[in-house]
Amino acid sequence: MDLVVSLALQILYGIANLALISLGLAIIFGMMRVINLAHGEFLMLGGYTVVIATNNGVNIWIAMLVLAPLVVGVIGVVVERLLIRWLYGRMIDTLLATWGLSLLFIGLVTSIFGASTATTISPPLGVITIGAYTSSGYEMFLIVVTVLLLVAVYATLKLTTLGLVARGTMQNAEMSSALGVSTSRIYMITFGLGAAVTGLAGGLLAPITGILPTIGAVYIAKAFITVISGGMAILAGTATASVLLGGVNGIVAFLTGPTIGEVALLVTAIILLRLMPRGITGTLFRKSL
Amino acid sequence: MRLSRDFRGTLIVAFCGLAFTLVAPEVLEFFTIITLSQVIGLAILALSLALVWGFGGILCFGQTAFFGLGAYAYAVTATNIGGSTGAILMAILVAAAFAAILGYFIFYGRVSDVYLAIITLTVALILYSLTRRTSGPEYKIGNALLGGFNGTAAPPLNLPGDAGTVLFPEDTFYVAMIVLILAYVFCCWLVRTHFGRVCIAIRENETRAELLAYDIRLYKLGIFTIGAALAGLGGVFFCVGVSRVTPDVFSLSQAAVAIIWVIVGGRGTLIGPILATFALHYLTASLGSQALLNANLVLGIVLIVFVLLVPKGVVPSIIDLADIRRQRRVARSRERRLRLRRTRNGSESAGVAE
Amino acid sequence: MNRAEIVLETRNLSMHFGGVRAVDRVDFSLSENELRCLIGPNGAGKSTFFKCLTGQLRPTAGEVLIRDVDVTGREPHQIGALGVGIKTQVPNVFEGLTTEENIWISARRWHRSSRARTLTAETIERLQLGDVRSEPVGRLAHGQRQWVELGMVVAAEPWLVLLDEPAAGMTHEETVRTAELIREINRTAALIVVEHDMQFIRMISRRVTLFHEGGILMEDTMEAISADARARQVYLGHRA
Ligand SMILES: Nc1ncnc2c1ncn2[C@@H]1O[C@H](COP(=O)(O)OP(=O)(O)OP(=O)(O)O)[C@@H](O)[C@H]1O
Ligand SMILES: [Mg+2]
């Protein structure tokens, strides 16, 4: 029984982790139809923000929950204004430009802070004991935060004016610009928000994964798979894909080890896309957010 | 007419390559020659991507997956059978087979551009994290230890059928160059065959190609697989040049540089990306391990600048410029002829009125 | 009508987009060597019907038969492979390739290299595209691009031809030539032509099918349709 609970928590954490690292990417993809290849670096920058802030005496919770999203969000807005804006309507070039950005950030951070950082931060919160098994309290915290984050995005999309316009843009970019909504401004805000959510995720994960200029590469494969498997709908896509892929990964990893677990995740995604080339929400739950 | 002119270009390039092959060992340092074999492997990778992306219109961000698989397949096979000829064939086969299976899912699922780019890249990245995990003694194929992030040793080339006679670095360079030239000529030929032209047509307009009764999925799968086979071959020369293959062949930055070569050299040409590979490799190598201007920073800037300012790439832009100048020249000489005729006819007034 | 003569038939064909019934339970048939025009106001469902025939859309219900073979849900290239030539409403050409290459790609699908080359040359001659033979199609004027597309259809030597608005955006002179070309194609092939231009239709057609709100309203000669009160209502109602 304890084993079952422990395993269930493990899988739940796997699912939450996928959702957490993908949500920012999904926001940008759902709204702008663009995969941000610098996504991993946004996560990395969130992590660096936390490390630098805590080293300078900032409370770790403030660093993770406030500073990381703020700093990376601002970076996102700047990037959108300086770079992405010039490439509207040129999907492939936008992808390529964000890839250039990814390299640029890695290079920049390496130049400034070196190829590796000595300082690490240990996860706050201790362990939770379930019978004979233990579980990390911090991982439980991350599950809760992920759920809250999904709820917050849902509320934003559903209740605010911004969300209304955003939903319109998601359905049909031409139509909303015909209605006098500035697509350019929406894109700027979207990119900023996506970056902020990503920064938050990067900050929250920093205590677990450690910090390196190239740490982004660890996340992005999974984030990409989750987002394209999910499809255009930001929330429904991220949630369904995370549950499916996280579940498969968790179970297979439990049975055979993490390496095969990762292969299973990829194979599931490829078969899924053979059946639903536009992702889960391209075929099912089409009206969802 | 046009055809023959194009083919003459191919031959000229091939002869330049041949001349370089003969001259290089005379004028370059021994160490440079060794490095060059490795760069030639990368150039074959660039060529394969130029074919698949530039002509097939298939945005494959993870071409390095096939490159790396080729390298690993070569190293493992050569270690096991103790000869390189079979291992090279194996490398090509593994890369092509893997691409055929992956391509089946992608093209028959009619996955769109952006998805295809991301899926192929993801495949490369997953291979990266998988190969990095293979450090234990249990990860062994025959006699070959995969070796985790340290990678596995890649045996040198030997004379076909005579595993005892190992090629010297200069000889390896000659072989690599000749393979590169042959691969280039092959690609030039391929894009002019019926198959190649249909692939180009599909790049231009998928719907039209389908309505003309071409099964576009099959053609895309075809060129994707051929490209992967070439990339696998590139992997062989790369790992022979380095004498190791490590998970880094699958890394994000390796995938990025392959894309950068094609962007810089120009989509829609075959020679551009090859030259860009040599040029950019020289550039990043001369930056060395300098801390301030590290390679990632420079490559990132190069990519952004090209996407924003020279989206066509260097070689097509030069061709465009030359075209414009030629057209101007033609127009000028026509004007001159016209004016001459007018003066001869004594109707000077028309010229003045203009 | 004799069954053996029917080359294309739809039974109960429907295509719905969510709540929109773009095509609704259409029974249609075309016989050997017939030249049929499809008319109807904007949004009547002509192009959608057309796309169901060419495999670009998979119908929600009903079936499409070509020479008594059920081809419902087949891919466009499979329909094309039966010998059906198709021109879509949105111009579909290979923009970056020359006129000659465009037409060659079509001819080469069916013939060996040498025959394809002569066929290409003949087609270029026939459509008077000689001047722009080596010009990338992306740089041509709209009318000429339409002609290149028609050239691609002709060069495949199809026995069944489907044209969606072939004369759209053409000058009067070009339209007249297109009408001639269509009559010429009709000597060896059955055709369905979707058009808005009534003058053009009078030039080519015998039998006309009038589409309205996803269904066939009537099928008759152009004269009869022009005289019909319902037909006039459909068009006037739309123009008002
Ligand atoms: N992909 C689609 N999704 C949703 N609705 C569609 C789609 N394609 C067509 N429709 C709708 O189906 C109806 C029929 O459109 P269709 O293009 O077939 O008309 P048409 O008769 O060809 O008009 P036109 O003369 O303007 O070309 C229209 O109301 C259109 O809005
Ligand atoms: Mg129409």
User: Does residue C90 lie within any of the structural domains?
Assistant: no
Question: How many CB contacts within 8 angstroms connect chain A with chain B?
Answer: 134
Query: How close C76 comes to chain B (CA, Å)?
Result: 6
Grouping H, G, I as helix, E, B as strand and the rest as coil, residue B210 is helix
Are C50 and C101 contained in the same domain?
no
Q: How much of chain B exceeds pLDDT 90, in percent?
A: 55
Min distance A200 CA to chain B CA atoms (Å): 23
Q: Which residues contact C121 (CB under 8 A, 6 or more apart)?
A: none
Contacting subunits of B (3+ beta carbon pairs below 8 A): A, C
Low-confidence ranges of chain C (pLDDT < 70): 1-4, 236-240
Q: Which residues of C touch B211 (CB under 8 A)?
A: 54, 76-77, 80, 86, 88, 92
- The whole-chain average pLDDT of chain B stands at 88
> Does residue B352 register a pLDDT over 50?
no
Q: Which residues contact B318 (CB under 8 A, 6 or more apart)?
A: none
Do residues B126 and A263 touch, judged by C-beta distance below 8 A? yes
Closest CB from B114, B129, B304 relative to A95: B114
pLDDT at B25: 85
**Domain at C179, CATH number:** 3.40.50.300
C57 lines ligand 1 (CB under 6 A): no
CB C134 within 8 A of CB C100: yes
The answer to the question of residue C89 being in a domain is: no
Q: What is the dihedral of CA B148, B150, B152, B154, to 10 degrees?
A: 150
Highest mean pLDDT among A145-159, A238-252, B74-88, B220-234: B220-234
Predicted confidence band of residue A135 (pLDDT cuts 50, 70, 90): low
Contact B71, B236 (CB under 8 A): yes
In this predicted structure, the answer to whether residue B72 has a pLDDT above a threshold of 80 is yes
Phi and psi at C163, nearest 5°, equal -120, 125
- CB A236, CB A230: distance < 8 Å: yes
CB contact under 8 A, B205 and C95: yes
CB of C22 sitting under 6 A from ligand 1: yes
Pair (C144, C176) in one structural domain: no
Of B97, B33, B101, B69, nearest to B236 (Cα)? B69
Task: Provide the sign of the torsion angle of the four alpha carbons A106, A110, A116, A118, taken in this order.
Answer: negative
| Interaxial angle between packed helices A2-32 and A161-171, expressed in degrees from 0 to 180 and rounded to the nearest 10 | 80
Contact A64, A70 (CB under 8 A): no
Do C150 and C165 lie in one domain? The reply is no
Q: Is C163 a domain residue?
A: yes
* C44 pocket-lining for ligand 1 (C-beta < 6 Å): yes
Neighbours of chain C (3+ CB pairs under 8 A): B
Joined tokens for residue A115 = 């190829």
Predicted pLDDT at A171: 67
- φ, ψ for residue B101, nearest 5 deg: -70, -50
- Testing ligand 1's pocket by substitution, the residue of C23, C24, C46, C234 carrying the most ligand atoms inside 8 A of its CB is C46
pLDDT single digits (tens) B261-296: 999 999 989 999 999 999 999 888 887 665 556 888
* pLDDT tens column, B155-189: 988 888 777 788 888 899 999 999 999 999 999 99
Same domain? C151 vs C162: no
Q: Which two tokens stand for residue C191?
A: 């055709």
Note whether C182 and C71 are same-domain residues.
yes
| Closest A-chain CA to B310 | A93
3-state secondary structure of C61: strand
CB distance C14 to ligand 1 below 6 Å = no
For residues C235 and C163, membership in a common domain is answered with yes
Name the residue with the closest Cα to ligand 1, atom 31: C43
User: Tokens 């709540």 label which residue?
Assistant: C19
Please give the number of the atom of ligand 1 that sits closest to the Cα of C44. 21
- Which of C155, C171, C197 is the last residue in one of the domains? C155
Look up tokens 């070009």; give the residue: C174
C-alpha distance from B109 to closest chain A C-alpha (Å): 4
Residue A264, CB half-sphere, CA atoms under 13 Å: how many?
18
Tokens 């190069």 correspond to what residue?
Answer: B302
pLDDT digits (tens, 9 = 90+) for B5-61: 568 888 899 999 999 999 988 888 888 888 899 999 999 999 999 999 999 999 999
Q: Which of C13, C14, C15, C20 to mutate to test the pocket of ligand 1 (most atoms within 8 A of CB)?
A: C20
**Smallest Cα–Cα separation from B247: which of B168, B346, B148, B143?**
B148
Q: Which pLDDT does position C20 carry in this prediction? A: 87
In which domain, by residue range, is C185 found? 3-83+158-239
Contact indicator for A202, A42 with CB cutoff of 8 Å: yes
The arithmetic mean of pLDDT across residues B212-219, rounded, is 96
For every residue of A37-63, DSSP letters joined together read TTHHHHHHHHHHHHHHHHHTT--HHHI
In a shared domain, residues C118 and C234: no
Q: What mean pLDDT value characterizes chain A? A: 85
Phi-psi sector, C33: left (phi>0), alpha (psi -120 to 50), beta: left
- Which residue has the CA at smallest separation from atom 5 of ligand 1? C17
Query: How many domains does chain C fold into?
Result: 2
Who's near A114: CB < 8 A, 6+ residues apart? B291
- Strands of chain A (E only): list them: 127-130, 133-136
| A176 confidence band (pLDDT: 50, 70, 90) | low
pLDDT band at A26 (very low <50, low <70, confident <90, very high): very high
Could you tell me which residues come within 8 angstroms of residue B128 by beta carbon, excluding any fewer than 6 positions away? A217, B247, B248, B250, B251, B252
pLDDT at A30 over 70: yes
Q: What is the pLDDT of residue C65?
A: 94
Token pair in block for residue A276 = 């639903």
- pLDDT at residue B112 is higher than 70: yes
Candidates A74, A41, A9, A11; CA nearest to A219 is A41
The ligand 1 atom nearest the CA atom of C49? 18
pLDDT at B1: 38
pLDDT band (50, 70, 90) for residue A182: confident
Q: C-alpha distances in angstroms, A195 versus A11, A15, A37, A164, B253?
A: 26, 21, 12, 20, 22
Which residue's alpha carbon is nearest to atom 1 within ligand 1? C17
Atom of ligand 1 minimally distant from the CA of C41? 25
User: Are C178 and C220 within one domain?
Assistant: yes
Domain ranges of chain B: 2-311, 314-354
CB contact under 8 A, A102 and B252: yes
Same-domain status, C166 and C235: yes
Locus of tokens 């233990």: A134
Higher pLDDT, B112 or B44: B44
Q: How confident is the model at residue B351 (pLDDT cuts 50, 70, 90)?
A: very low
Does residue C34 lie in a domain region?
Answer: yes
Domain ranges of chain A: 2-216
Least Cα distance to B45 among B296, B189, B173, B229 occurs for B229
The DSSP secondary structure of B56-92, one letter per residue, reads T----TTTHHHHHHHHHHHHHHHHHHS-SHHHHHHHH
Q: Which residues of B touch A106 (CB under 8 A)?
A: 253, 296-297, 300
Q: Is A118 exposed, middle or buried (0-12, 13-18, 19+ CB in 10 A)?
A: exposed
C91 within some domain: no
Q: Are residues C101 and C207 in the same domain?
A: no
Among A75-79, A285-289, B90-94, C89-93, the minimum mean pLDDT is found in: A285-289
Query: Which pLDDT belongs to residue C8?
Result: 94
Tell me which H or E stretch contains A157. Answer: helix A137-159
Going by CA atoms, what residue is nearest to atom 18 of ligand 1?
Answer: C45
Model confidence band, residue B350 (pLDDT cutoffs 50, 70, 90): very low
Minimal CA separation from A278 to chain B, in Å: 7
Contact (Cβ atoms closer than 8 angstroms) between residue C13 and residue C28? yes
